[in-house]
Amino acid sequence: MPEMNKKKMNTDDRIILYWMQAAQRESHNPALEMAIRKANELSLPMLILFCIEDHENEANLRHYQFMLEGLWETGLSLQILRIPLLIALGETESLVTQLAPNCAAVIMDRGYLREQRVARANIRKHLEDEGIPCFEVETEAIVPVEVVSSKEEYAAATLRPKLLSILPEYLINPTPNTQLQRSLKISTMQNLLPEKDSRYFDELSNLEELMDWALGELTFDKSVTWGSCFRGGYSEALRRLDTFVSDRLLNYATLHSDPGTDYQSDLSPWLHFGQISALEVTHRILSACGLEPAQVPSLIKHKADYYGNLASCASFLEELIVRRELSMNFCFYNPEYDSYAAIPLWARKTLEEHATDERAYLYSTDIFENAATHDPYWNAAQIEMVKTGKMHNYMRMYWGKKIIEWTLHLEVAFYLMQYLNDRYELDGCDPNSYTGIAWCFGKHDRPWKTRPIFGSVRYMNAAGLERKFDMQAYLAKA
């Protein structure tokens, strides 16, 4: 055990610890709400610990920067509530367990990916062994995955009725966070973690100081630099949401798939980092359309019957709630969600039957990564992702399908897609990433007319893009 663990506080001085990981926000954060409530009930102070690990998956400078921009703003909001935020560099499990002897209880938010679940399970086990109560609170899905369904769902069509039947109960607007009754004297918590690797938010004078310290200490890949128009943080997410509601929501249903226009909300990076909650987004959309939560199930179910704002509201909530929570269902119930084995059997069988079909083009990772294929639309999509950190949704589908078509081995195509997606998309390494990639291979889809290379897995081509959209407008954006 490291030396600082011996610095156990008096029982009277124990704290409520909220280990913040997935829900990197102050607003609409049920884990934070619970921690404040517990601290006030027990008349104890509380502390929030945020750990920054090195070398997380494909995460690189653009992801860390976006995350730190958001964390800075969250720290400022927590200051108003007088809740101290301790930012620590290093391995999460070890950092949480080092603080555990000082805790009357530990609250954690929720994560659906393997590493997030393993970390939570290990921390819970350690705390149980120490007799410290530990609570995991749903902060990602609007309805917790296991409440919706006890199994991996076949497709949106099978998840939707289950989710919609209970959704209104979960669309409750939380009350704003209350002030802490007892605040923590930072001096009592000094040196619990090594000074070099941790900073109290209050000790940092500005975002640059946080960036210099955290980014300077970490050794992750810094070759993928910034250059995007996306800035992290709750206020930027709200600003984007407001602009979306006022300027684009009306036409979302008809135009959000068109890559030549900009009718998506662009909220996925902020949702991915938990800088804004899907529940808060839902409430803002409902209030803009004058709708009550009880109307949502029928609206989504009968979305084809509506037009204008209502059709768009239905279409947007279908994506934000049904599709997003289908991704969580996939990652929660399928332990192989990030491997080729997760592809449904019918799709693997038909793809493998066509594995030796002649391919007109074959490209290496370098050609793909450098957007140097023969296809200007594919190249533009890759450039959009590399330059901005976010590719248009429709182009993500086309991009993935073409990687399958232009790669000799299916498994190579699968992992190459994951590599490029998680390296360049700001919203990468998300349940939506693994589900989107698996979708390109037939997951959550049905068999279509048989074709070369794809068999009965859905196929996409450039002529289809040109028929549906103004692709010159998309190319002009690159």
Ligand X SMILES: Cc1cc2nc3c(=O)[nH]c(=O)nc-3n(C[C@H](O)[C@H](O)[C@H](O)COP(=O)(O)OP(=O)(O)OC[C@H]3O[C@@H](n4cnc5c(N)ncnc54)[C@H](O)[C@@H]3O)c2cc1C
Q: How many helices (H) and strands (E) does the chain have?
A: 22, 6
- Does 396 bind ligand X (CB under 6 A)? Our answer is yes
Per the CB < 8 A criterion, the answer to whether 414 and 437 are in contact is yes
Among 427, 442, 455, 456, binds ligand X (CB under 6 A): 427
Q: Which is nearer to ligand X, 45 or 70 (CB)?
A: 70
Which region among 98-106, 129-137, 207-215, 423-431 touches ligand X (by CB under 6 A)? Answer: 423-431
First vs last C-alpha separation in the chain: 53
Is position 400 an interface residue for ligand X (rule: CB under 6 A)? Answer: yes
Q: How many Cα atoms sit within 13 Å of 276 on the Cβ side? A: 25
Q: Minimum CB separation from ligand X for residue 444, in Å?
A: 9
Nearer to ligand X, 268 or 379 (CB): 268
User: Least distance in Å: CB of 428 to ligand X?
Assistant: 4
CB of 413 vs ligand X, minimal distance in Å: 11
Considering only 21, 149, 265, 456, the residue that binds ligand X (CB under 6 A) is 265
Binder of ligand X out of 414, 439, 469, 474 (CB under 6 A):
439
Stretch that binds ligand X, among 56-64, 178-186, 267-275, 448-456 (CB under 6 A): 267-275
Contact between 62 and ligand X by CB under 6 A: the answer reads no
Query: What is the rounded (10 degree) CA torsion for 323, 329, 332, 333?
Result: -140
Q: Which residues contact 305 (CB under 8 A, 6 or more apart)?
A: none
Instruction: For residue 99, state whether it binds ligand X (rule: CB under 6 A).
Output: no
- Percent helix, strand and coil across the chain, each to the nearest 5: 55, 5, 40
Cβ atoms 219, 55 nearer than 8 A:
yes
Per CB under 6 A, 14 contacts ligand X: no
CA angle 44, 48, 54 (to 5 degrees): 155
| Token pair of 55 as six digits | 């070398």
Number of residues that bind ligand X (CB under 6 A): 28
**Binds ligand X by CB under 6 A, chosen from 36, 47, 267, 276:** 267
> Burial level of 101, CB count in 10 A (0-12/13-18/19+)?
middle
Nearer to ligand X, 48 or 437 (CB): 437
Q: Which of 57, 116, 312, 327 binds ligand X (CB under 6 A)?
A: 327
Contact range with ligand X by CB under 6 A, out of 61-69, 108-116, 408-416, 425-433? 425-433
Q: How far is the CB of 357 from ligand X (least distance, A)?
A: 22
Judged by CB under 6 A, the residue of 93, 152, 262, 319 near ligand X is 319
Which residues, other chains included, contact 21 with Cβ-Cβ below 8 Å and sequence gap of 6+? Answer: 50, 51, 92, 108, 109, 111, 116, 119
Residue from 24, 261, 350, 432 in contact with ligand X (CB under 6 A): 432
> Of 230-238, 300-308, 317-325, 363-371, which segment contacts ligand X by CB under 6 A?
317-325
- 85 vs 347 by CB, closer to ligand X: 347
Closest-approach residue to ligand X (CB): 436
How far is residue 167's CA from residue 188's CA, in Å, rounded to a whole number? 44
Measured CA to CA in angstroms, residue 61 lies from 54, 389, 434, 440 at distances of 11, 11, 21, 28
Chosen residue from 28, 240, 303, 323 binding ligand X by CB under 6 A:
323
Among 428, 443, 454, 455, the residue binding ligand X under the rule CB under 6 A is: 428
Token match 């653009």: residue? 62
Contact between 393 and ligand X per CB under 6 A: yes
193 binds ligand X (CB under 6 A): no
Q: Is 425 in the site for ligand X (CB under 6 A)?
A: yes
In the complex, the smallest distance separating the C-beta of residue 259 from ligand X, rounded to whole angstroms, is 10
Binding segment for ligand X (CB under 6 A), chosen from 49-57, 102-110, 122-130, 434-442, is 434-442
- Tell whether residue 24 is a contact of ligand X (CB under 6 A): no
Q: How far apart are CA 328 and CA 114, in angstroms?
A: 11
Task: Rule CB under 6 A: say whether 268 interacts with ligand X.
Answer: yes
In whole angstroms, what is the distance from residue 186 CA to residue 209 CA? 20
Quote the CA–CA distance of 15 and 8 in Å, as a whole number. Answer: 11
Q: Which one, 14 or 423, has the nearer CB to ligand X?
A: 423
DSSP 240: H
As a three-state string, the secondary structure of 322-365 is: HHHHHHHHHHHHCCCCCCHHHCCHHHHHHHHHCCCCCCCCCCCH
Q: Where are the beta strands (DSSP E) in 182-235?
A: 198-200
Interior CA angle at 164 toward 159 and 168, to 5°? 145
Q: Is 140 in the site for ligand X (CB under 6 A)?
A: no
Q: Which is nearer to ligand X, 102 or 149 (CB)?
A: 149
Residue 398: CB minimum distance to ligand X, A: 9
Interface with ligand X, residue 256, by CB under 6 A: yes
Q: Are 368 and 382 in contact (CB under 8 A)?
A: yes
Smallest distance from the beta carbon of 243 to ligand X, in angstroms?
Answer: 12
Question: How far, in Å, CA of 39 to CA of 105, rounded?
Answer: 9
List contacts with ligand X (CB under 6 A): 256, 264-268, 271-272, 319-320, 323-324, 327, 393, 396-397, 400, 421, 425, 427-428, 430, 432-433, 436-437, 439-440
